[in-house]
Amino acid sequence: MKSVSHPEASPVREAVRSLKSAFVAVGAFSAVINILYLTSSFYMIQVYDRVLMSRSVPTLVALSVLALGLFVVQGLLETVRGRLLVRVGGRLDEALGGRVYRAFLAMPPRGGRTEESLQPVRDLDTARGFIAGMGPVAILDMPWMPFFLIFIFILHPALGWFAVFGGASLIALTWLTERLTHDPTRKAGGLGGRRMNLAEMTRRNAEAVRAMGFVDRMTARWLAANAAYREVQHGATDVHVALTASSKVMRLVLQSGILGLGAWLAVRGEVSAGAIFASNIAMTRALAPVDGAIANWKSFILFREATARLEKLLSLEKDRPAPMPLPPPMRELSVEGLHAGPPGSRTPFVRAAGFKLRAGQGLGVIGPSASGKSTLVRAIVGAWPPMAGEVRLDGAMTDQWSPEALGAHVGYLPQDVELLEGTVAENIARFADQPDAAAVIAAARAAGIHEMILEMPDGYDTQIGEGGFMPSGGQRQRIGLARALYGDPFLVVLDEPNSNLDAAGDAALQNALAAVRGRGGIAVVVAHRPSALASLDMVAVMADGKITQFGPRDEILPTVLAGPAVARTRPVDLVRGGGAA
């Protein structure tokens, strides 16, 4: 019997749906709270119609004690409801936090723009903040508007119709608020994100900006971005403020109007004096959800936009069954018909690349700048998804491993080495939950930095990051090399690993590459200097995104150095790799 397939539900909607029981509990609290809001109305009716007529002090005291007790209960219930909403927001964060963070990390490989890179985290904060705020309270109180209107109709139909007119007027203002603030608020959100990202990029490059004297120019760029954001944000805020003020004036008019109407009906003997004030209080409560919706409308729009963006983002992160565990690769790396380029680009920087390496071999990738060397190694390790072609380890495509399982068999050192906030040991151990201290030290020794780390303020426990130890470029590169070597991965890919190394670091790199090959691993190195090729036995020459030559180092390198390019290029430039391509 064939199973019926159902379209995959949105992860965001699934997360919100999982909170259904919590919202039911919040709704139950709202029901009791709204019923208790009639306490003031009944108290007014009893005081004006019973106490004042009978002049009974005991009755007044009894009514006052009862009302006070109900007010205390109402206050306690509102406190519990507010705290429950905070927990509901936290549960949404727990349900989506991991997926959002993984999607956030996957945005650069998929071509996410810099100004959008932090948006998923901001969107999750926006969604959590809305649910934990007063927005849901206004929504959950909406169904109770007819309850209060019916109460007012019971007092007198004219009072009821007046309250209905007031509610319709405020609902019309709410609709107008949506129409006039939707687009400006969305545009302001985008401009605000770009403004903050420009500030963050400038902060990260503050030393270069100051040293090369373009602080004023970057300030001018930020001020221009800030002015664009401010202009749109002011327009949206002006509309929202005007409509909020209009709703407040309308509410005052309605409150005074129902008092006047009630007084006129009382003069005619159609209602009691207590009904005048009771209807005013009930109408105020009936219109409170509309007031709350207007006050929180901007937050609601931001919530809606944030969840829409999260739905779009998380829809790209398809859940799939965990692949069957494969044995660790031990034999070969195969690249077949590989086309690769920057994420989001339709033009490949590497075209039809193919080669095969056996265990114990080391490949040096050389060629002029922008020839596709870095793109090739990024595609090999999966940092950039291939446009076409295959990368296989022991015959299995790399996507047949889970990212965590594949990562244990791959060591990667990118051109721009960044260390994460944490200890030196945590960085080398790739932030493993239970790092192997012996493996950390072994990786450090393999990279030739064990003694260097011991000389740091706290050795392997030295904190790296803002407020901690700030390693130099060479130190970052060598710690990054140790991270790549941690756990003796089968495939070690290094992109210009000696660009910041001194002679001692260069020697340590050669020893590390020899050790990788000696234990049966495969090393792929984008060569920045000829010395990087000393411990390798194979060479691939790239030009214009293609592998033009591939073979043993001692056969290929002399032909490269003796080729026509020598006439116009120094030999060392043929193996330099300064470009990001």
Q: Is 560 helix (H, G, I), strand (E, B) or coil?
A: helix
pLDDT > 70 in the chain, percent: 89
Q: Are 549 and 468 in contact (CB under 8 A)?
A: no
Query: Which of the pair, 529 or 265, is modelled with greater confidence?
Result: 265
- Token couple for 70: 């109900």
Indicate the pLDDT class of residue 87, thresholds 50, 70 and 90: confident
Q: What is the pLDDT of residue 5?
A: 40
Q: Are 247 and 170 in contact (CB under 8 A)?
A: yes
Q: What is the pLDDT of residue 412?
A: 92
pLDDT tops 90 at residue 8: no
pLDDT tops 80 at residue 543: yes
Number of residues in the chain: 581
pLDDT tops 80 at residue 25: yes
Please choose, from the candidates 355, 482, 502, the residue with its C-alpha nearest in 3D space to the C-alpha of residue 413: 482
Q: What is the pLDDT of residue 127?
A: 85
pLDDT tops 70 at residue 4: no
- Token couple for 303: 């919530």
Q: What is the pLDDT of residue 111?
A: 47
pLDDT tops 50 at residue 545: yes
Q: What is the pLDDT of residue 114?
A: 46
Q: Are 84 and 29 in contact (CB under 8 A)?
A: yes
Mind listing the pLDDT tens digit for each residue in 305-333? 888 888 877 776 665 666 778 888 899 99
Q: What is the pLDDT of residue 569?
A: 37
Indicate the pLDDT class of residue 3, thresholds 50, 70 and 90: very low
Kindly give the interhelix angle for 297-315 and 119-131, rounded to the nearest 10 degrees: 130
507 burial type by CB count under 10 A (0-12 exposed, 13-18 middle, 19+ buried): middle
- Token couple for 241: 């403020």
pLDDT (mean) for 380-402:
86
Q: What is the pLDDT of residue 362?
A: 92
Q: What is the pLDDT of residue 143?
A: 84
Q: Are 246 and 173 in contact (CB under 8 A)?
A: yes
Q: Which of 107-116, 237-246, 416-425, 569-578 has the lowest mean pLDDT?
A: 569-578
pLDDT (mean) for 251-263:
86
Q: Which amino acid is at 216?
A: D
49-56, long-range: CB < 8 A, 24+ apart: 49/272, 49/273, 49/274, 52/273
Q: DSSP labels for 110-133?
A: TT--GGGTTHHHHHHHHHHHHHTS
Mind listing the pLDDT tens digit for each residue in 451-470? 999 988 889 999 887 777 88
Q: What is the pLDDT of residue 529?
A: 66
* Residues ≥6 apart with Cβ < 8 Å to 32: 77
3-state secondary structure 512-555: HHHHHHHCCCEEEEECCCHHHHCCCCEEEEEECCEEEEEEEHHH
C-alpha to C-alpha distance for 404 and 382, rounded to whole angstroms: 12
Dihedrals phi, psi of 330, to nearest 5 degrees: -140, -10
pLDDT (mean) for 174-193:
74
C-beta atoms surrounding 61 within 10 Å: 11
pLDDT (mean) for 86-97:
83
Q: Are 492 and 522 in contact (CB under 8 A)?
A: yes
What residue has token string 């409170």? 288
Mind listing the pLDDT tens digit for each residue in 511-525? 899 999 999 999 999
Q: What is the pLDDT of residue 320?
A: 61
Indicate the pLDDT class of residue 531, thresholds 50, 70 and 90: low
pLDDT (mean) for 264-288:
85
| Element of type H or E holding 469 | none
Indicate the pLDDT class of residue 1, thresholds 50, 70 and 90: very low
Indicate the pLDDT class of residue 572, thresholds 50, 70 and 90: very low
| pTM to 2 decimal places | 0.66
pLDDT tops 70 at residue 265: yes
pLDDT (mean) for 360-373:
89
pLDDT (mean) for 81-87:
87
Q: What is the pLDDT of residue 482?
A: 92
Q: What is the pLDDT of residue 530?
A: 66
C-alpha to C-alpha distance for 560 and 564, rounded to whole angstroms: 9
| Element of type H or E holding 578 | none
Q: What is the pLDDT of residue 108?
A: 57
pLDDT tops 50 at residue 115: no
C-alpha to C-alpha distance for 474 and 47, rounded to whole angstroms: 83
Please choose, from the candidates 303, 340, 361, 407, the residue with its C-alpha nearest in 3D space to the C-alpha of residue 545: 340
* Residues ≥6 apart with Cβ < 8 Å to 194: 115, 225, 229
Q: What is the pLDDT of residue 562?
A: 66
C-alpha to C-alpha distance for 122 and 189, rounded to whole angstroms: 10
pLDDT tops 70 at residue 561: no
* Residues ≥6 apart with Cβ < 8 Å to 354: 335, 336, 337, 338, 389, 547
Query: Which of the pair, 173 or 276, is modelled with greater confidence?
Result: 276
Indicate the pLDDT class of residue 573, thresholds 50, 70 and 90: very low
- Token couple for 287: 């219109």
pLDDT tops 70 at residue 528: no
Average pLDDT, the chain: 81
C-alpha to C-alpha distance for 379 and 381, rounded to whole angstroms: 6
Q: Which amino acid is at 351?
A: R
Mind listing the pLDDT tens digit for each residue in 202-219? 776 777 777 777 778 888
Q: Which of 58-72, 118-132, 285-299 has the lowest mean pLDDT?
A: 285-299
* Beta-bridge partners for 538: 363, 552
Q: What is the pLDDT of residue 316?
A: 63
C-alpha to C-alpha distance for 50 and 32, rounded to whole angstroms: 26
Q: Are 263 and 212 in contact (CB under 8 A)?
A: no
pLDDT tops 50 at residue 495: yes
Indicate the pLDDT class of residue 570, thresholds 50, 70 and 90: very low
C-alpha to C-alpha distance for 439 and 444, rounded to whole angstroms: 9
pLDDT tops 60 at residue 554: yes
